[in-house]
Structure 1
């Protein structure tokens, strides 16, 4: 039996054909070179069996990347790292706000504003060059959860209520965004396009989704670190430190955690490589 015909099981329970090209592309995204990628693919391919889970394949590839170079493993685990921003949605909101702030926007997170009819707590407000965005962030801790059409339907009504309050003023938003760490259903994408909402998910819009923006800007969440412990990551998130770049600019938090100078040097080296990759 050819390796390409092996069935693997996704986290949703769905069985799909194993794809060497998908694995290869995900490995290249980590920054690993051709020799490293080929070596990992050869090992994974030899260990395949019918019904192997995508998690098992991921763990094997991750371990080999980490052994090769920690920055490769950090970038490879980006999707998993976004889920680690939970369990609440607040760190994800701060992460999206920080992404936009480092992209040149003036940003406010978690602001309550008056609509024409009712008050609204807006996750992220961002402005730049005449662009006035109100964004709602939908964080899901389960990989199988998607944003269905009810989400943009609900958010569009809020967006219209805010426009009704600020129409013909300098504070009137001209873009409504829905941002999620998972994916939108086909109906959600169709509705969003129809009413003019800007939808942003892990892989949408194509080549400009969250994963693409993060890689392009080098704005990685601190949860990608392979050197920080889960306790340390949660401490930093509770202090609104969500980006590696933020931690690089304020190492006080590492001192506050009582991290040794030797370990701190390794963490900062990893973070520096991520920010400049």
Structure 2
């Protein structure tokens, strides 16, 4: 393989191909070293100058799926988050669930009064007499990052709500504002968040505790990771507030509404059950 092979990211940026990055993403799927090496060797043989990251992903995904759908489901997690669109509301519910499984009581789409105006907050979370407000920034297109304008805007909303909150008696303190995105934050967005005291959560930030880490740790995989459900079936389930794989396992009768056969139903459930147990 030419060591100077350049690949094109979704953003259009050209970077050198990294075997280690591919190895890491494949290892996160649960595949063992032997399978990871097999796939790396096959993908490496098919590389050419200017190949897109999407093409590399599709090839690795197909090879994983051929071996075991469970591996493929975990591997496609990032893409599955994008599939929660196009409205972004399933993503808000998804974020609320992450807070719930982290020990909070969470509500979606709550109206809070500010000092100047009212605000519709994506997620309001409560824990130990502390209240946290969370704004979700969802993109259904890869390559779009959250720049500094987003935390600037959210910080001003938080300040307005907090000013009113602190002027009235409440059972809890309003102590934190969060911005959660399914993409990435730019460096200046991260710098501003740190400076102002705004919590930021993205696909890979904070390091070792980003969205991906939390999903893996809590076993909160969205139904869109399934390689066996069609896009139409996924959208039907999302419209019925079935966002997580564990939701579907608990309410498998939704698959009956879709007219899915017992044989296929069993395959779908067998694919997603290991994700919830991980």
Q: TM-score range by the shorter chain?
A: over 0.9
Contact 1:138 1:178 in 2 (8 A): yes
Note the C-alpha offset of 1:171. 4.0
- Structure 2 unmatched runs, 5+: none
Partner of 1:217: 218
Partner of 2:189: 188
Consecutive aligned runs of 4 or more in structure 1 exceeding 4 Å deviation:
none
Query: CA–CA distance in 1 between the matches of 2:3 and 2:275?
Result: 33
Note the C-alpha offset of 1:4. 3.0
The alignment status of 1:227 with 2:207, answered yes or no, reads: no
Note the C-alpha offset of 1:239. 1.1
The alignment status of 1:43 with 2:33, answered yes or no, reads: no
SS state of the match for residue 79, structure 2?
helix
SS state of the match for residue 4, structure 1?
coil
When structure 1 is superposed on structure 2, of 171-180 and 77-86 the one drifting more is 171-180
Contact 2:112 2:118 in 1 (8 A): yes
Contact 2:130 2:173 in 1 (8 A): no
Partner of 1:242: 243
Normalised by the length of structure 2, the TM-score is 0.96
Partner of 2:100: 101
- Structure 1 unmatched runs, 5+: none
SS state of the match for residue 70, structure 2?
helix
Note the C-alpha offset of 1:255. 1.4
Query: CA–CA distance in 2 between the matches of 1:50 and 1:31?
Result: 29
SS state of the match for residue 174, structure 2?
coil
Note the C-alpha offset of 1:230. 0.3
Partner of 2:124: 125
The alignment status of 1:89 with 2:124, answered yes or no, reads: no
Note the C-alpha offset of 1:125. 0.7
Matches of residues 23-102 of structure 1 in structure 2 within 5 Å? 23-102=22-101
Deviations 1:146-167 (A, max 9, x none): 1111111111111111111211
Note the C-alpha offset of 1:82. 0.5
The alignment status of 1:179 with 2:180, answered yes or no, reads: yes
Contact 2:11 2:144 in 1 (8 A): no
| RMSD (CA atoms) | 1.1
Contact 2:146 2:181 in 1 (8 A): yes
Contact 1:163 1:172 in 2 (8 A): no
Note the C-alpha offset of 1:11. 1.1
Note the C-alpha offset of 1:50. 0.9
Partner of 2:267: 266
Deviations 1:205-256 (A, max 9, x none): 0010001111111110110000111001000111111111111111121111
Query: CA–CA distance in 2 between the matches of 1:3 and 1:86?
Result: 38
Note the C-alpha offset of 1:74. 0.3
Query: CA–CA distance in 2 between the matches of 1:133 and 1:175?
Result: 5
Query: CA–CA distance in 1 between the matches of 2:3 and 2:247?
Result: 42
Contact 2:29 2:72 in 1 (8 A): yes
SS state of the match for residue 3, structure 2?
helix
Query: CA–CA distance in 2 between the matches of 1:99 and 1:266?
Result: 26
Partner of 1:254: 255
Query: CA–CA distance in 2 between the matches of 1:80 and 1:68?
Result: 20
